[in-house]
Structure 1
Amino acid sequence: MSWAWEYVPDEKTVAAGAPSAFLGEVEKKVEELVRAAEALYLHGPAYQDLDEGAKHAFVDGGFFVYMVTPRSELVSIWQITPDPHLSD
């Protein structure tokens, strides 16, 4: 297995209407989160504790809600919230 990230349930649902610059910031940050999770959970599939639950990450232009699931080696993005005062 290899660490990855994805929008849940899918990109169309989660990212609909978000400015492209904001989505770029979200994707840069989630790549950092994937690298950090990979270093923290070296044996992700063997992880036995509870997942940490949902967290928020703030980036230029808004924030997003994500969860790290070590057993699946996955960072999932559940919600993105762009600042309504900013646009493309």
Structure 2
Amino acid sequence: MSWKWEYAFGAEQAARTAPAGFLSEVERTADELVRATYQVVVRSERVYIVQITYLGF
């Protein structure tokens, strides 16, 4: 299998304005989830990030 991750829905739009350091951590965590196949959509071999929340205001 070739598991991957991607942003979905509103998370993709939010990712456009989030700080680069924050997005790096999101992407690092997503890579870990892919390796662990946590809460996956088996049919499309994807882990979807459906929400991100940046609290560093």
TM-score (normalised: structure 1)? 0.54
Question: Larger helix proportion, structure 1 or 2?
Answer: 2
Across the aligned residues of Structure 1 and Structure 2, the Cα RMSD in angstroms comes to 2.1
Structure 2, unpaired ranges of 5+:
none
Runs of 4+ that moved beyond 3 A: none
Structure 1, unpaired ranges of 5+:
41-66
Question: 2:55 & 2:14 partners in 1: Cα distance?
Answer: 15
AA matched with 2:52: I
The one of the two structures with greater contact order (alpha-carbon pairs below 8 A, sep at least 6) is 2
Q: Percent identity?
A: 52
AA matched with 2:49: I
**Residue 79 (structure 1) aligned with residue 51 (structure 2):** yes
TM-score (normalised: structure 2)? 0.79
**Residue 69 (structure 1) aligned with residue 41 (structure 2):** yes
Greater Rg over alpha carbons, structure: 1
**Secondary structure class of the residue paired with 1:31:** helix
Q: Provide the aligned length of Structure 1 versus Structure 2.
A: 56
Partner in structure 2 of residue 25 of structure 1: 25
